[in-house]
């Protein structure tokens, strides 16, 4: 479970460079390392794995929102208010 903010969707150049260096150290050629690391700082790879609608109210999710891994590694997301609603200790029936 975690909280996603706009920062998580910004391009992470440092992460990409890190991966590039790591691949070089692992023995890849410069060209291969560049190809393989391209996009690793790209936030859209993350975006594809994420739910776009709130699991509770089914409305479109906006940042920031809460997510966690459900069954079968499916990710589910909640508006912060909806997650708070879910975690209320006493649920009225
Ligand atoms: Zn919601």
Centroid of ligand 1 to alpha carbon of 5 (angstroms): 16
- How big is the CA angle at 72 (ends 51 and 11), to the nearest 5 degrees? 40
pLDDT in tens, 17-55: 999 999 999 999 999 999 988 878 777 666 667 788 999
Residue 9: pLDDT band by 50, 70, 90 thresholds?
A: confident
Output 67-74 pairs: Cβ under 8 A, ≥24 positions apart: 67/1, 67/2, 67/3, 67/4, 68/1, 68/2, 69/1
Centroid of ligand 1 to alpha carbon of 59 (angstroms): 6
Centroid of ligand 1 to alpha carbon of 57 (angstroms): 4
Centroid of ligand 1 to alpha carbon of 55 (angstroms): 7
The mean pLDDT of the chain is: 85
pTM comes to 0.57
Centroid of ligand 1 to alpha carbon of 6 (angstroms): 18
pLDDT score for 22 = 95
pLDDT score for 54 = 95
Centroid of ligand 1 to alpha carbon of 71 (angstroms): 19
pLDDT score for 50 = 79
State yes or no: pLDDT of 2 exceeds 80. Answer: yes
Contact 37, 16 (CB under 8 A): yes
């Amino acid at each position: 479970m975690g909280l996603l903010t706009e920062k998580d969707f910004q391009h992470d150049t440092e992460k990409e460079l890190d991966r590039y260096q790591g691949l070089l150290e692992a023995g890849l050629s410069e060209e291969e390392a560049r190809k393989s690391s391209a996009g690793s700082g790209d936030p859209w790879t993350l975006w594809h794995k994420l739910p776009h609608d709130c699991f509770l109210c089914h409305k479109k999710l906006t940042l920031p929102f809460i997510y966690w891994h459900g069954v079968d590694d499916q990710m589910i997301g909640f508006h912060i208010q909806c997650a708070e609603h879910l975690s209320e200790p006493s649920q009225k029936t």
